Amino acid sequence: MTRASVLLLGLALTSDTVLSSAVRYVAENSNNDDSIPYAGQGPPLYPLGDPRRCLEVGRRNGYEMMRFEVLPGFGWDNLRNVYEGQVVTFNYSQCRTTDDGRFLLPDSVSAVPIKASYVHTFAELITHWKNWTSSTARSINVDAGLSLTNFGISGKFSSDFEDVKSKQIGDKSLTTRAQLRYTRYQVQLQPDTPLHPVFKSRVLSIAAANELGETEQARFLSQLLVRDFGTHVVTKADAGAALEQVDQIREDWVLSQKEKKSDILASASASLFKVFKMSASYETKTDDKFVDSYQKQRTSSSILTKGGPLFRPANFTPDMWALAVDQDLVALDRSGDPIYYVITGSQLPELPASTLSEVYTNVKEAVETYYSFNRIPGCLDPTSPNFSPSANTEDGSCKPPPTNLTFGGVFQTCAMQPGSDNGNLCADLPQVNPLTGAFSCPPQYQAVKLHSGSMTSSRTDHVCHRHLLFWKRCHDEYHGSKAIYNFYWCVASGPVPPNSGYLFGGLYSSKVENPVTRGPTCPPTFFPLKVGDKADLHVCISDDYEFGEEFSVPFAGFISCDAGNPLAVSDPSTSQGPKKLQGHGQKKSLPPGSNPHGTLKQFFHDQASEWPQRCPDGYSRHLATVDQGCQINYCVMTGAMAGPVLPPIKRPPFVSDPPVPPPDPNNMVIFDPATKTWKRNGAAQAMLQQPAAQSSGDNSDSSSEASSSLSAGAAAGISIGATLACVAIATLAVLAVRSRRQKGRAGYRRLQNPLLDPQENYGSVRESGRTPSTVTVEVAGENGQ
């Protein structure tokens, strides 16, 4: 601590112990605005934990400081070397500063000032773009914490790497880089820093999907997490500033000066010093003629200032730059961990251990899938005939392959599962092999089961039927379907005639373009066979050997998480392929004391479960698709699909957004923040109904016991039913009266004088057959009295 830190608190303290007590005093009592020691009027304008509150307190005490900007705790895309979303949350309730009192720090970040006043100057010669390293992210690129097959492409899609690669290939040049670095602070994130609410919410969404058994939804959400928050989280950083010059030098001149590498590096440094007008004390003694020759051999030169004041060629000096470095610090190097390292029990106490492990695996798989989709194996030697300029990983395939291997096509079967009642999911999934017109391979070819997957769909129908006179009963009916599909490819089981099988023209999907056409299409004279999940993978084939061969690519098999490549184990008896393949998954045991296969290589060649996960010599492995978490790769001759020098990066998600299943009250998961536990099914429903029950209890005093037991919908239904009933009764009564009146008018009769007729005929409607004589009386008809 320094006196500047003491002024921040408005206390005349010089002891570090007393100062620490004052910091604790402010942190513990800052909830009471009156207890904060500052010299201004009125309480602070910002709440506790807000950095502006600390800055305001400092200003009221006559002390100005700045927020430290080079903070760890952010997500990092380790392929592109760019920041992503914030992973941890920052709190400034303690108003902590750097030891020199210049910068305000979050409570969970510590900073160590580098008090040694020295500037690190060095130069390097980069003869191949694969050896280029970022000057601001070297540590996190090198120590990526991933498998050996993936970490090698870290930083290979950054802007500075792509610039160097394109210039080395296009200009046939080599690269020198001279730097002047001035590191001021080293900052580090404290362990178990609370997660940012947005990031934590996304992780809990993945956990909920796992709890509900929605595997595809969890995979999709994990890939979205990697897209928005990156592959890593920054935990350490060096803050400072740097001056950098990157030169591209003609390759032939550098090769002619092999014995003068030190002079080339000294010339690069001297060129940097000259640009920034450094004094002679900074310079390395170098022959002026060699420096001039070096500068004449440059095809391009870039001057970069990272941190500090802006570079102005007219009046820029190192002294001015060094004095203003603290005003604009940047990260000169970063260290970090894969983003799934923060998914721990201490960070997510809400999750049980089993669910936490599933989420960790989901996010780790998403990071590795992101790397796999952008890993392009191939030959990186520009002098090799198999050179692949788009490749970013050396696979040892610069030697030409010994022979071409034939391709017998692909096919896919599909079967609906019993009890499916939500449509036929197999309508578009089956794919026959055109060579046979069936789900089979042609003669002398063997079917290899590459992958097995499933598709599901579901819906819920709300069905209602009438009940009694004025009511109806409703219920939900669940309908679901499930299909199992199997994807096969055909490998030659022995020598095959020339010009048999299919030509291979690449493949594509909704997520991956065809490297042959550089788009989602097949070459001319080629046709797609649709296989995989939702028939999304299109394998381009052709039997037109005359016109299709110029677009074809030498093919050497498929590789998946379920099956290796039988062509990777060459058969000593033939160069065309396996002599005879056993069924996939079957093993043959050797009788004691005998070896029917003759050699160990032949034995493993015949065992499907032992086929290696690699390509034959001279062939490169390329990603076809990721089918429900299973990577499917294919092998083609190295250099056959050169592709662009700078292939665009493929960003997640790599799976489609799965359809959201209908809500099922018997499959519900809710997190209870009060008890920090997960509620399922009945307990979850009770938790959802609890707010409604409380609301009903608040209004119970103003409603009767009978009516309070009815919901609003039920009460409305009863009211409408009663009204309709009254209307119906009134209508029937009116109709009855009208009917009686009409019948009365139609039944009038003339009756005889009762003095002349018998007594029993009074009121009778029957005709007496005699004509009435004197008196006419109107009476009602048959039913009237």
- What's the pLDDT tens digit per position in 571-606? 433 444 444 444 444 444 444 444 554 554 454 455
The pLDDT, as a whole number, for residue 35 is 41
Do 444 and 555 share a domain, yes or no? yes
- The mean per-residue pLDDT over the stretch 489-514 comes to 85
- Tell me which DSSP letter residue 401 carries: P
The pLDDT > 70 percentage for the chain reads 69
Q: At 493, is the secondary structure helix, strand, or coil?
A: coil
Do 103 and 121 share a domain, yes or no? no
Strand partners, 484: 415, 454
Do 12 and 114 share a domain, yes or no? no
Say which residue the tokens 């949350």 belong to: 89
φ/ψ of 463, rounded to 5, equals: -105, 135
User: Does residue 379 belong to any structural domain of this protein?
Assistant: no
CA atoms within 13 A on the CB side of 625: 25
Q: Is the peptide bond before 653 cis (omega within 30 degrees of 0)?
A: yes
Say which residue, 123 or 285, is predicted with more confidence: 123
Degrees, nearest 5: CA angle 168-173-177: 85
The answer to whether the beta carbons of residues 243 and 321 sit under 8 Å apart is yes
* Burial (CB count within 10 angstroms: exposed 0-12, middle 13-18, buried 19+), residue 569: buried
Degrees, nearest 5: CA angle 558-562-566: 45
User: Does residue 661 belong to any structural domain of this protein?
Assistant: no
Domain of residue 74, residue span: 3-109
The pLDDT, as a whole number, for residue 680 is 62
Distances 163 to 246, 248, 255 between C-alpha atoms, Å = 11, 11, 22
Identify which of 561, 594, 565 has the alpha carbon closest to the alpha carbon of residue 577. Answer: 565
Give the pLDDT band of residue 414 (cuts 50, 70, 90): very high
Helix (H) or strand (E) holding 691: helix 682-698
**Where are any strands of DSSP class E within 502-550?**
503-508, 527-531, 537-542
Domain boundary among 326, 342, 370: 370
- Tell me which DSSP letter residue 309 carries: S
pLDDT in tens, 419-472: 888 888 898 899 999 989 999 998 888 999 999 998 888 888 888 888 777 788
Terminal alpha carbon distance of the chain: 118
Distances 478 to 105, 425, 771 between C-alpha atoms, Å = 56, 17, 80
With a cut of 50, say whether residue 23 has pLDDT above it: no
The pLDDT, as a whole number, for residue 192 is 92
The pLDDT, as a whole number, for residue 760 is 42
Identify which of 303, 366, 296 has the alpha carbon closest to the alpha carbon of residue 338. Answer: 366
Q: At 356, is the secondary structure helix, strand, or coil?
A: helix
Do 121 and 247 share a domain, yes or no? yes
Strand-pair category, 66-67 with 103-105: parallel
Q: How far apart are CA 96 and CA 758, in angstroms?
A: 126
The answer to whether the beta carbons of residues 52 and 33 sit under 8 Å apart is no
- The mean per-residue pLDDT over the stretch 99-120 comes to 84
User: Does residue 92 belong to any structural domain of this protein?
Assistant: yes
* Count of domains observed in the chain: 5
The pLDDT, as a whole number, for residue 515 is 86
Say which residue the tokens 């002619």 belong to: 256
Do 330 and 253 share a domain, yes or no? yes
pLDDT in tens, 77-86: 999 999 999 9
Q: How far apart are CA 255 and CA 173, in angstroms?
A: 10
Contacts of 297 (CB under 8 A, 6+ apart): 249, 250, 253, 254
User: Does residue 492 belong to any structural domain of this protein?
Assistant: yes
pLDDT in tens, 218-274: 999 999 999 999 999 999 999 999 989 999 999 999 999 888 888 899 888 888 888
Which amino acid is located at 691 in the chain? P
The answer to whether the beta carbons of residues 492 and 501 sit under 8 Å apart is yes
* Burial (CB count within 10 angstroms: exposed 0-12, middle 13-18, buried 19+), residue 25: middle
The length of the chain is 785
The pLDDT, as a whole number, for residue 734 is 61
User: Does residue 398 belong to any structural domain of this protein?
Assistant: yes
Would you say the C-alpha torsion 635, 640, 643, 646 has a positive or negative sign?
positive
Do 363 and 454 share a domain, yes or no? no
Do 270 and 212 share a domain, yes or no? yes
The pLDDT, as a whole number, for residue 197 is 95
pLDDT in tens, 632-672: 999 988 777 666 788 899 999 998 888 766 666 566 666 66
DSSP letters, 169-213, are HHHTEEEEEEEEEEEEEEEEEPTTPPBPHHHHHHHHHHHHHHHTT
Say which residue, 32 or 166, is predicted with more confidence: 166
User: Does residue 261 belong to any structural domain of this protein?
Assistant: yes
The answer to whether the beta carbons of residues 254 and 166 sit under 8 Å apart is no
Q: How far apart are CA 571 and CA 362, in angstroms?
A: 39
User: Does residue 236 belong to any structural domain of this protein?
Assistant: yes
Note the Cα 145 to chain centre separation in Å.
19
Return left, alpha or beta for 12; rule: phi > 0 is left, psi -120 to 50 is alpha, else beta: beta
- Tell me which DSSP letter residue 648 carries: P
Identify which of 479, 478, 477, 481 has the alpha carbon closest to the alpha carbon of residue 424. Answer: 481
Strand partners, 183: 240
Q: Name the token pair of 665.
A: 């009250």
The pLDDT, as a whole number, for residue 369 is 93
Q: How far apart are CA 238 and CA 543, in angstroms?
A: 60
The answer to whether the beta carbons of residues 705 and 722 sit under 8 Å apart is no
User: Does residue 13 belong to any structural domain of this protein?
Assistant: yes
Do 63 and 152 share a domain, yes or no? no
Average pLDDT over all residues of the chain: 77
* Burial (CB count within 10 angstroms: exposed 0-12, middle 13-18, buried 19+), residue 304: middle
**Four-CA torsion 699, 700, 706, 710, nearest 10 degrees:** 40
Domain boundary among 109, 124, 155: 109
Do 404 and 309 share a domain, yes or no? no
Do 350 and 444 share a domain, yes or no? no
Q: How far apart are CA 653 and CA 222, in angstroms?
A: 9
Give the pLDDT band of residue 678 (cuts 50, 70, 90): low
Q: How far apart are CA 277 and CA 595, in angstroms?
A: 77
With a cut of 70, say whether residue 679 has pLDDT above it: no
Domain boundary among 109, 131, 151: 109
The pLDDT, as a whole number, for residue 313 is 67
**Four-CA torsion 342, 345, 350, 352, nearest 10 degrees:** 120
Strand-pair category, 630-637 with 555-560: antiparallel
Helix (H) or strand (E) holding 59: helix 51-60
Do 80 and 125 share a domain, yes or no? no
Identify which of 54, 61, 136, 137 has the alpha carbon closest to the alpha carbon of residue 98. Answer: 54
Do 316 and 335 share a domain, yes or no? yes
With a cut of 80, say whether residue 277 has pLDDT above it: no
The answer to whether the beta carbons of residues 535 and 487 sit under 8 Å apart is no
